[in-house]
Homo-oligomer: A and B are copies of this chain.
Amino acid sequence: MRIGVLTAGGDCPGLNAVIRSVVHRAVAGHGDEVIGFEDGFKGLLEARYRKLDLDAVSGILARGGTILGSSRLERARLRQACEETEDLSRELGLDALIPIGGEGTLTASSMLAAAGLPVVGVPKTIDNDISATDRTFGFDTAVGVATEAIDRLKTTAESHQRVMVVEVMGRHAGWIALESGMAGGAHGICLPERPFSVDALCAMVEERFARGKKFAVVCVAEGAHPAEGQMDYRKGEIDQFGHERFQGIGNRLAAELEDRLGKEAKPVILGHVQRGGTPTAYDRVLATRFGWHAVEAVHRGDFGMMTALRGTDIVMAPLADAVTELKTVPASRMDEAESVF
């Protein structure tokens, strides 16, 4: 068989591990040929690809990023692609396509599958918000990076009797904030799923100082927002240079806490360090398993599906289901963390 593989969307530790696993299983296990499209769907549409043999994926298991490059999806071109799908397939002699990507990529994959392309998807997001799978690779690495940062910030906060506000990734789902907050022992956790109360955060800090614990750490997802009437906050303010990105919730919340509490409150915005670099062992194993099962699905003709973790098993889930609903943090998970939410 001739199998195409591509990576699309944001960087995510484990992408190379999937590519390597696909190549190992397909080439060494089944005698297939694998080609890798460059820069995501763009490379597919422009027929920019290279052959991937065992040598091509040697040494990439532990490496962050993607050797294939990536790009964000342009929906218009994809629709066009769907129309030309049969030609594309025939021209390239593709027996199957394995796109590795997040919600946008899986939606696109679902469209391609509907248009008749033999597609098996592999889900990817550091945000862990795809509902069809228990976990996605990249998430564990992001949580690990954020947790190490919180560990470091705690000693500084304690030495200086400060409040530290750590902003982590998570625009629509707060999984990274929840788990790194729990793992780092943050005293407050703010998630997109539940508008937070500045009053409650202040009360928590005051109570800690009263108990002699003269510091506090608040872990806030970039997509978190205050409850009605709690704090003046509008995302997307424009700064004096015409850029809107600088005033995130972390900076804003630290300023507010400092004003209200009369104590030093310092923001730390972790940003892109969470999505780069070598994946954790957990993510490498999950990514490798996803790659292996994607190839097996191809050989079974299990198209229109994507790999998913359920308990300890890798199963196949319909691509269409995968993208219907965002997996957000349920209240029961917040209860388990001894933090203010």
CA A272 to CA B269, docked complex, whole Å: 10
* Chain A, range 114-171, C-beta contacts under 8 Å to B: 134-135, 140, 143-149, 151-161, 164
> Can you list, as one digit per residue, whether each of A233-266 has a CB less than 8 Å from chain B (1) or not (0)?
0000101110101110001100100100000001
Q: How far is the CB of A246 from chain B (nearest CB, A)?
A: 5
A277 touches B151 (CB 8 A): yes
Question: B338 to A29, Cβ gap below 8 A?
Answer: yes
Asked if A25 and B338 make an inter-chain contact with CB atoms under 8 angstroms apart, the answer reads: yes
Contacts of A281-319 to chain B: CB distance below 8 A: 281-282, 284-285, 288-289, 292-293, 310-312, 314
* CA of A10 to CA of B237, assembled, Å: 32
Q: How many residues of A contact B (CB 8 A)?
A: 90
- A183 → B minimal CB distance (Å): 4
Hey, what's the 0/1 contact readout for A205-230 against B, CB within 8 Å counting as 1? 00000010100000000000000000
In the complex, what residues of B have CB within 8 A of residue A104's CB? Answer: none
What 1/0 flags go to A8-32 for Cβ under 8 Å of B?
A: 0011010100000100110011000
A32 vs chain B, min Cβ distance (A)? 14
* A25-B338, A241-B255, A292-B336 as given contacts; A268 in contact with B272, CB under 8 Å: yes
Contacts of A154 in B (CB 8 A): 65, 276
Interface residue A66 (Cβ < 8 Å from any Cβ of B)? yes
**CB pair A311 B61 closer than 8 Å:** no
Task: Determine whether the beta carbon of A338 is less than 8 Å from that of B156.
Answer: no
Q: Are B152 and A288 in contact (CB under 8 A)?
A: no
Q: Is A70 an interface residue (CB 8 A)?
A: yes
A271 sits at the interface (CB 8 A): yes
CA separation between A271 and B268, bound complex, in Å? 6
CB <8 Å contact, B268 and A273: yes
CA A247 to CA B237, docked complex, whole Å: 13
Q: Name the distance in Å between A93's Cβ and chain B's nearest Cβ.
A: 25
The 7 A-B residue pairs whose C-beta atoms are closest, nearest first, are: A152-B277, A65-B155, A64-B155, A156-B276, A183-B281, A152-B276, A147-B281
Give the B-binding residues of A (Cβ under 8 A): 7, 10-11, 13, 15, 21, 24-25, 28-29, 54, 58, 61-66, 69-70, 134-135, 140, 143-149, 151-161, 164, 179-180, 182-185, 211, 213, 232, 237, 239-241, 243, 245-247, 251-252, 255, 258, 266-269, 271-273, 275-277, 280-282, 284-285, 288-289, 292-293, 310-312, 314, 335-338
